[in-house]
Structures are given as structure tokens and as C-alpha cells.
Amino acid sequence: MHDDLTSVDFAVVGGGIVGLATALRLQELHPRSRITLLEKETAVAQHQSGRNSGVIHAGVYYAPGSLKAQFSRQGVSATRGFCDEHGIPYSICGKLIVATDTDEITRMEALETRARANGIEIDRLSGAEARALEPAIKATAALLSPSTGIVDYGLVAARMAELFIDRGGALRLGAEVTGGTETEAGITLNIGQETLSAGKAVFCGGLMADRLARCFGAEIDFRIIPFRGEYFAIRNQPADLVRHLIYPVPDPERPFLGVHLTRKMNGGFTVGPNAVLAMKREGYRKTDISLTDLAESLSYPGFWRVVARNFGPAMNELTASTFRRLYLQKVHKYCDQISLADLVPYKAGVRAQAVASDGRMIDDFLFTDTRHTLHVCNAPSPAATSALPIAAHIVERLLGG
Ligand SMILES: Cc1cc2nc3c(=O)[nH]c(=O)nc-3n(C[C@H](O)[C@H](O)[C@H](O)COP(=O)(O)OP(=O)(O)OC[C@H]3O[C@@H](n4cnc5c(N)ncnc54)[C@H](O)[C@@H]3O)c2cc1C
């Protein structure tokens, strides 16, 4: 490990999967350079990267030509390759997207067209074919994505951190970047009372992305609005309740995929996540409130526009969050074998969703740069799947400029 605590070639801020993959990519291209990764928590992957559905997304949903479509397609093989090389277990169990009424069939057909435009392998199934594959599921028709899989992204991130350290990188935990300045020569980061100068810096702050970008003078027109996603683990059900991941057909008006039935790498299943406006960016319990975070959301015009546009669905999610029975109704649409007594609370996650001042939820991955910095502004799902190609893109952009 390089031991210069005051001056480095590259600083990476944020020890989630995107920051870690970026640090590894910099190291790969510049093995002799001094690279420091700064993470404010006492371990890596404590936020989105360690609190997600664990799905390796094949790329069915994303707008053709978008970065999400490109990076998720590349991300599936990159993630599998990384796991194969480093002995991390994963399973390509496939996914069924199930339509349960004629309205959903129409939306499912649009999704099929999109998946084909993205070059994703997708099979159309009748209701009977879907039920033959998954007897516990109700479906009028379904799409099968055979290349969707599952992995524990917390394990992937932990292995990335080990590799980074083994290859000479400095990982500083408990190191919160609180401010800094950019000069002609590079950038200075404040970490409490200390400073670190870097030739270039990449900010992968997830739920704090907008604050970090503003703090370093990047011109941005978005704010991070946190959406909590609550899960339940399922008990009392056979190990083969479902063999694939089971997803509803998503609502095209919403950027989230709907409550799905997910197999876990350590056995068992979860259902989730819903999408509830959170009152704290890094708050994982319903009761968590940060007055600063709340005031920042409430004072932002884009927040009120999001609420106005999504009032119906937002209220529905909020009610389902409060009443487990309503949450279960979402699952019962496609699997009525699960009962209330089977649902056990499971660790929640909070999504960092960038919202523009006009109230538009920014759908694609978004980056912005200053002379010596690059800020990851919007890296929602499928950014865990896509972390390795995102990192390649970041480093090319950072070094090309
Ligand atoms: C509920 C949920 C389900 C999801 N499901 C999937 C899925 O199935 N598949 C998929 O591909 N994606 C999924 N995602 C998305 C995926 O988890 C994220 O896109 C990805 O983890 C983003 O990684 P990141 O490194 O950008 O952010 P994070 O993992 O949030 O990391 C950001 C890091 O920056 C640190 N940080 C912030 N500010 C500072 C500072 N000032 N100084 C130092 N450190 C700082 C934080 O502590 C944190 O560790 C899901 C996300 C959620 C929330």
C-alpha cells in the first residue's frame, strides 16, 4: 500500500461497488500510480451496494441506446467473469416477468420489443407454459429472461476492496470528505481536519452525490431524492417455491420494477422492494428522519413536481408500507401461496434517485465533470450489475479530458 496520506495521483470518494470498481480500473491502467479510496463508513458497501435485490440484470427494461442498456448488457458478462475469477458464488437462474391481465399483456409486449431491440435473449411464454415452469405462479402470459441471475453484491464489493489493497491501493475507512477545492494543478479534499491533494478525483457518493457535486463546484440540475425499498423474507415455504426470479410487468410511468419474488444466494426468498419516499437519505427504518435531508427535499421544486406526478402510486406505496396486508396484495397478484404469517421483515435499502428541477426522475446513468473531477450523479439499478463497465467509462472520461 502506498503510505502517502497527503498527496496522491487519484482519489476515489465512496466505497460502494461503483467507487471500488473505479479504483480497480484506475489501478489496472496505472499500476504505478498512488490511488486512495475514501469511504466514510467503517466498512465498504454499507449503503446501496450492500442493500439491494442482488439481481444480475440482463438488460430487458432499459431504453435502447441508453447507457443502462449498454452497461447492463456488458455488466452481465463482466460480473460473471469477475465472480468466476475470484470464486464468488452466483446463479443464472433466469427470470419470469408475469402478466396477469390484458392490460399487462400489452405492456409486456412493449417490454419484449424493447428487450429484442437491446439484443437481450427473451422468450415469450403462454400462461400454461409459464405455469408449467413455475406451478406456484399465476400468469396469463410471461416473458422468460434466461440470462438474469443473482449474486451477493456485498461479497463482490468486499473482494474488490481486498484486490485494491493487495495491488497497492490505500483504502481509508471512516474518512468522510467534508469539502475541498479545485485548483489549476488538481484537487484538495478535506477529510475532517486533514487534507489530501490529488491530481484527479472521482466521486461515487451514491445517496450523497448531489451534495458532493455542489461542494466541488460542478454545475448540476438535479437533487438526490431517497426512495426506501422495503423487503420481507419468506418463511414456511418449500425450497422450490419458485426456481426463477418472478417479476410483475413494471408500470412504465415509474422508474422502479415493482415488488418481485427473489431467490437469495444463501437460500430462501425475499419479496420487495416497494418504493416509499424516505425522510432520511441513509435511514433504513420507517421512523428514521433527518431534518436536514427532509428540508433539502421539501425546499426543492423538483420534489413537489415528482410528488404531484406520482401522487397516486406514491400514496399506494406508502399505504402498502404501513399495512403488510396491502403489501401482500401486490405479491398475490402473481403468487397467492404466500400468506401474511410467512412475511418476516428483511433489511431495507434506500435508492439514490436523481430528480431534475422540472420534476423528471432521471432515468439513465448520469455523470458530470469539472477540470480534475468526475462526479457520478445518477447510478441507480442496474448500477450494481453494471459497475465494471461503468468504471471503464468513468476512467476513460476522466483520463480523456
Ligand atoms: C432497494 C434496492 C434494490 C436494488 N436492486 C438492484 C439489483 O437487484 N441489481 C442491480 O444491479 N442494482 C440494484 N440496485 C442498485 C444498486 O444497488 C446501486 O445502483 C449501486 O449499489 C450503486 O453503487 P454506488 O457505489 O454508486 O453507491 P453506494 O453503494 O450507495 O455507495 C456510495 C458510497 O459513498 C460513500 N460516501 C458518501 N458520501 C461520502 C463522503 N462525503 N465521503 C466518503 N464517502 C462517502 C457512502 O458511505 C457509500 O459507501 C438496487 C438498489 C436498491 C437501493
384 Cα–ligand 1 center, Å: 8
User: Mutate which of 381, 385, 388, 393 to test ligand 1's pocket (most atoms within 8 Å of Cβ)?
Assistant: 381
**How big, in percent rounded to 5, are the helix, strand and coil portions of the chain?**
35, 25, 40
Closest listed residue to residue 179, CA positions, set 156, 208, 199, 158: 208
Instruction: Find the CATH number of the domain harbouring 167.
Output: 3.50.50.60
Residue 384 Cβ inside 6 Å of ligand 1? The answer reads yes
pLDDT for residue 277 is more than 80: yes
Residue 81: exposure state from Cβ atoms within 10 A (0-12, 13-18, ≥19): exposed
Say yes or no: 381 and 232 in one domain: no
The answer to which of 4-8, 48-52, 241-245, 293-297 has the lowest mean pLDDT is: 4-8
In this structure, the answer to whether residues 141 and 237 fall within a common structural domain is yes
- Does residue 55 sit within a domain? no
Is 75 touching ligand 1 by the criterion CB < 6 Å?
Answer: no
Taking only the tens place, the pLDDT of each residue in 75-133 is 999 999 999 999 999 999 999 999 999 999 999 999 999 999 999 999 999 999 999 99
Q: Tell me how crowded residue 52 is: count the other CB atoms within 10 A of its CB.
A: 24
pLDDT band for position 325 (cuts 50, 70, 90): confident
Q: Residue 237, Cβ neighbours under 10 Å: how many?
A: 16
Any ligand 1 atom below 6 A from CB of 23: no
- Distance separating the N- and C-terminal Cα atoms of the chain: 28
CA of 31 to the centre of ligand 1 (A): 26
Q: In this predicted structure, what is the pLDDT of residue 307?
A: 82
DSSP states of 34-67:
-EEEEESSSSSS-SGGGSS--EE--S-SSPTTSH
Q: Could you tell me how far CA 380 lies from the centroid of its own chain? A: 4
Ligand 1 pocket residue status of 34, Cβ below 6 Å = no
Query: Within this chain, do residues 347 and 260 fall inside the same structural domain, yes or no?
Result: yes
Question: Cα(131) to centroid of ligand 1, in Å?
Answer: 35
Distance 48 CA to ligand 1 centre (A): 3
Distance 21 CA to ligand 1 centre (A): 12
Domain assignment present for residue 250? The answer is yes
| Per-residue pLDDT at 4 | 64
Ligand 1 contact via 282 beta carbon (within 6 Å): no
- Alpha-carbon span 172 to 300, nearest angstrom: 33
User: What is the mean predicted confidence (pLDDT) over 357-372?
Assistant: 94
Indicate the number of domains in the chain: 2
Same structural domain for residues 216 and 227? no
pLDDT at 135: 96
Domain range holding 346?
A: 91-148+223-356
Q: Is the pLDDT of residue 315 over 80?
A: no
46 close to ligand 1 (CB < 6 Angstrom): yes
pLDDT confidence of 316, banded at 50, 70, 90? low
Q: How would you write 168-209 as a 3-class SS string?
A: CCEEEECCCEEEEEECCCCEEEEECCEEEEEEEEEECCHHHH
Q: Is the CB of 14 under 6 A from ligand 1?
A: yes
* Residue 256 sits in the same domain as residue 318: yes
Domain assignment present for residue 327? The answer is yes
**Residue with CA closest to ligand 1 atom 26:** 206
Average pLDDT over residues 329-352: 93
- Per-residue pLDDT tens over the stretch 150-172: 999 999 999 999 999 999 999 99
Q: Report pTM.
A: 0.96
Q: Is 274 in the pocket of ligand 1 (CB under 6 A)?
A: no
| Closest of 281, 41, 46 to residue 175, by C-alpha | 41
202 lies in some domain: yes
Query: Could you report the per-residue pLDDT of 223-247, keeping only the tens digit for each?
Result: 999 999 999 999 999 999 999 999 9
**Is the beta carbon of 389 within 6 A of some atom in ligand 1?**
no
369 in the same domain as 330? no
